[in-house]
Amino acid sequence: MYVCLCNGINDKKVRQAVRQYHPQSFQQLRKFIPIGNQCGKCIHAARELMEDELLQLPEFKEIA
């Protein structure tokens, strides 16, 4: 599913970037993939994907 039509970013790319780089904020995620820098309609969906993927990471499961 495409998250960002402006830059052609799909949910798999967002999840892969989160797993690979472990961003602590949406601004950090934007440093790794070009998302949310055109029209901005994708920011909410991308942020939700990032938070969901961070919860799936082992080091974040232990904290919760």
Task: Return the bridge partners of 10, or none.
Answer: 2
> In the chain, what are the domains?
2-63 (1.10.10.1100)
pTM confidence score: 0.85
Alpha-carbon distance 18 to 9, whole Å? 13
pLDDT of residue 63: 53
pLDDT of residue 27: 96
pLDDT in single tens digits along all 64 residues of the chain: 999 999 999 999 999 999 999 999 999 999 999 999 999 999 999 999 999 999 988 865 555 4
